[in-house]
Amino acid sequence: MKVKLPRFNKNTRQLVLFRGMRYFEEQRMKQISNHDHTYVYEVKGEVNKYEVVINVAQDDTIVFSSCTCPYEDGGFCKHQVAAYFDILNEQGRLHLDDYKNSLTLKEKHPSKPVPEGWSKEDYLELQKFNVKNYMSTFTKEELMDLMVMYMKQDMKLFMYLFHHYMVEEEKNKIKGLN
């Protein structure tokens, strides 16, 4: 679901929205970089610091948004929300009062385990999907092309692979010292 930056709350749970608002007001986020409409933030949570990466298209659509926190309840996390508020504030477009009574995602109901937008059958089918078997049908070249394509679209995947590469490089340097 593509969402315009000022309407990010449509993909945010109410409790998360207010926690993100508090984080913004407490200035818990620090913009690390802003290059080519891609913002990188460090956001201080209650205990840890998290990295938030956001890419916004020319038409104000959130193209990509990720956070290194473990939040998995659906929609944007409070760290992303704090960063969105900061971006809007930096652009002179933030009106916090508009968000205080705004529409948000409905809170999850325990009797509805299937994510919104999925049929129960499709969701059960997805859980049975064997990724390893499917990937084995591709050639090495096809897999590499897929990875490059998705790494260009998904900064979190790129950062994960780059981090893995850097760890392996450090391990090799340590091995070279022995």
Summarised one tens digit per residue, pLDDT across range 27-47 is 999 999 999 999 999 999 989
Helix H or strand E encompassing 56: strand 49-56
Three-state SS across 131-160? HHHHHCCCCHHHHHHHHHHHHHHCHHHHHH
Q: What is the mean pLDDT of the chain?
A: 86
Specify the pTM: 0.61
Q: What is the pLDDT of residue 31?
A: 97
Higher confidence at residue 70 or residue 177?
A: 70
The Cα 123–Cα 120 span in angstroms is 5
pLDDT at res. 110: 52
CA distance 17 to 23: 10
pLDDT of 113 strictly over 70: no
- How many other C-beta atoms can be found within 10 angstroms of the C-beta atom of residue 21? 18
